[in-house]
Amino acid sequence: MTCNLLTRPLAAFALAMFLCMATFAGAAADGTSSKPAAYPPNWWVGMRDARLQLMVQGPGIGASEPTLDDTPRAKIVGVARGDSPNYLFIDLRIAADATPGDLTFRFARREGLVTLRYPLLPRAPGSAQRRGFDNRDVILNLMPDRFANGDPGNDRVAGYADAADRDNPGGRHGGDLRGMRDRLDHIAGMGYTMIWPTPLIENAQSAYSYHGYAATDLYRIDPRYGSNVQYRDFVAEARTRGIGVIQDVVPNHIGDGHVWMKDPPTADWLTYAGRYDPTRHGRTALADPYAAQSDRDDFTQGWFAPTMPDLNQKQPLLATYLIQNAIWWIEYADLSGLRVDTYGYSDGAFLAEWTQRIRAEYPHFSMVGEEWSDNPSVVARWQNGWVDGKPGMPNMMDFPLSEAVRIALNEPANEYAGGLRRLYEAMVDDRLYSAPTALVAFEGNHDMPRIYSVLGENDDSFRIALVHLATIPRIPQIYYGTEVLMTSPTVRDDAATRRDFPGGWAGDRVNAFTGAGLSPRQAEAQRWLRTLLNWRKTATAVHRGRFLHYLPRDGVYVYFRDDDRQRLMVVLGRNDKAVELRLDRFAEGLKDANAARDALTGTAAPLGSSLTVPAHAALILELCTPSKPC
């Protein structure tokens, strides 16, 4: 890494200055500029775990003997060297009563003495007790490159080959942190309380870098999005609006533009010794009691693509590096959660340690793993724990339920199978999970065909899907553009699924932020979803209430949510005409309710011996009782 501030874009200047001061202090005795860099670039006093391992990187640094100037703050307890001469690993123990300040390291080499000043910073008050996301929240998944371009000046950055080109469906389009920050009022107004952007860290790849899943520097925000400082400011601005930020992390693989491809710290840093060998995606193998070990190894060690080298988390130095990297971002940026990409592809023992170390530092923090399987036993395995009592991932993406919704609202149904009956039966799988309400349910994401298209652009099915998502015992997540009925092919087509959000670029004919140019259907869908999500913010029965559901009959699925403050009756129907629903069957859910009102419109819904259910219904009824009248 070189430290040329003059050639850096202004957006990255603050970060570059910080890194240069933190890692390149001092000069070699022989007058050369070969100075080491340390990762993580800083740490904090007052962390629960007193251990810290620094990866020090620099030409020939591995041959040096490190010492730490006399200080009560920390002491060196171990030194390790890899196979490359350009890395040195220093194990530190930070004193429990350490005060903020710099540590000064000296590296003795034949060429002379090199020094490195390393900052220990104060922690923010309450950092360890930060709240993650839970059933009170609604998560917005967006792709920063495709959401809003707030700073056209960073569309092209010197040294980065993949410049913005909106005419290229698979290229960068210029969305950035400034664009996201400028739209925070819109996001909050829609009712979202959490934002999950796809990865923002550096992807200095020659092409197809916009998605962010091929990292080339795990400690740096890609300058085409902005800087580390801008990211931290974005998170802080979001928090002032009641919105937390979830960072997308990828412990499984990197991009082939990473320096580790040319100079890995150890010979076993990458799987298959750095040679491309593709995974066959046998995700069931790890949960399969009969699977061959070779199939399990193929799943966790195989590469995603030639441009995405697979990391070997069995390597203990790398495992520590990845764990500390996640903790660094949580503390540095004040995050509310992590979304863990390709979760199950990493080594299982590493994942258990990764989870345990993070939760020990932040007991109330949230992390959600991606295991793209429609088999609930596969997803449940990860939440319920690995083996030998190791902790599981507290939250998992509910791919089985997502798949069930997409099938259920498309297929014909009879009284015994298919359609809404499929949604009912999907909930039976909750018995497999240690914490089913901690699962993140979703209508779509950046890898899936858009739900509006999958549902045949049927507005009624669309509303049923979203009401179901908002009221079941899950944490809901919605993909950007869903609210304005963005479409795609019904088979996977990344470019089409990841189109630019209308209005995020100067000169866009349609602007979903202001409503200009939206069709009447789009404008109504956006208004309706805004109403639904803002209502949900105060719906305590949805946040924590009991779930009771009834077997669908006559094309109608009914379930109840209730707590000590609120009682809800949700009615989903797929009939082409109105039907009368006899209410005596629902006595257990209705209890003493004598009236109801539509939660989204406030319209009264009389409760007699029956309830008129309109065609293609998606009703949320707030129940009223003699003690809690409407």
pTM of the full structure: 0.93
Predicted confidence (pLDDT) at residue 200 exceeds the cutoff of 80: yes
What are the contacts of 31-34 at 24+ separation with CB within 8 A? 32/111, 34/58, 34/59, 34/60, 34/114
Predicted confidence (pLDDT) at residue 24 exceeds the cutoff of 60: no
The whole-angstrom separation of Cα 370 and Cα 396 is 6
Per-residue pLDDT, averaged over 43-52, amounts to 97
Which position has the higher pLDDT, 107 or 629? 107
- Among all residues, which ones are annotated catalytic? 341, 370
Residue 153: its pLDDT value, please?
97
Per-residue pLDDT, averaged over 472-481, amounts to 98
* Domain 128-249+335-406+434-537 homologous superfamily, CATH: Glycosidases (3.20.20.80)
265: nearest Cα among 481, 53, 503, 111: 53
The whole-angstrom separation of Cα 575 and Cα 573 is 6
Predicted confidence (pLDDT) at residue 606 exceeds the cutoff of 90: no
pLDDT for 254-300, tens place per residue?
Answer: 999 999 999 999 999 999 999 999 999 999 999 899 999 999 999 99
pLDDT for 454-470, tens place per residue?
Answer: 999 999 999 999 999 99
Predicted confidence (pLDDT) at residue 182 exceeds the cutoff of 60: yes
Residue 34: its pLDDT value, please?
66
Predicted confidence (pLDDT) at residue 399 exceeds the cutoff of 50: yes
SS3 600: coil
Sign of CA dihedral 199, 204, 208, 210: positive
209-229 burial: b if 16+ Cβ within 10 Å, else e: bbbbbbbbbbbbbbbbbbbbb
169 prior amide bond cis, ω within 30: no
Per-residue pLDDT, averaged over 318-341, amounts to 98
| Percentage of residues of the chain with pLDDT beyond 70 | 94
Location of structure tokens 């020990």: 360
CB 560 within 8 A of CB 547: yes
Topology (CATH level 3) of domain 544-624? Immunoglobulin-like (2.60.40)
How much is the mean pLDDT over the chain? 93
Sign of CA dihedral 268, 270, 274, 279: positive
Predicted confidence (pLDDT) at residue 333 exceeds the cutoff of 90: yes
Backbone region of residue 269 per phi and psi (left: phi > 0; alpha: psi in -120 to 50; beta: other values): alpha
CB 480 within 8 A of CB 142: yes
Location of structure tokens 């099915």: 461
Residue 327: its pLDDT value, please?
98
Residue 414 confidence class, pLDDT cut points 50, 70, 90 = confident
SS3 471: helix
236: nearest Cα among 329, 333, 332: 333
Residue 604: its pLDDT value, please?
93
CATH entry 2.60.40.10 includes domain 5-123: yes
Residue 388 confidence class, pLDDT cut points 50, 70, 90 = low
Per-residue pLDDT, averaged over 107-123, amounts to 92
Residue 32 confidence class, pLDDT cut points 50, 70, 90 = very low
Q: Do domains 5-123 and 128-249+335-406+434-537 have the same CATH topology?
A: no
Per-residue pLDDT, averaged over 160-183, amounts to 97
| Percentage of residues of the chain with pLDDT beyond 90 | 89
Residues with Cβ within 8 Å of residue 136, at least 6 apart in sequence: 193, 537, 543
Residue 387: its pLDDT value, please?
60
Structure tokens at 64: 């040096």
Which position has the higher pLDDT, 28 or 413? 413
pLDDT for 533-552, tens place per residue?
Answer: 999 999 999 999 999 999 99
Pairing of strands 337-340, 244-249: parallel
Which position has the higher pLDDT, 242 or 625? 242
Residues with Cβ within 8 Å of residue 312, at least 6 apart in sequence: 268, 269, 270, 271, 301, 318, 347
Residue 199: its pLDDT value, please?
98
Residue 198 confidence class, pLDDT cut points 50, 70, 90 = very high
Every domain of the chain and the residues it spans: 5-123, 128-249+335-406+434-537, 544-624
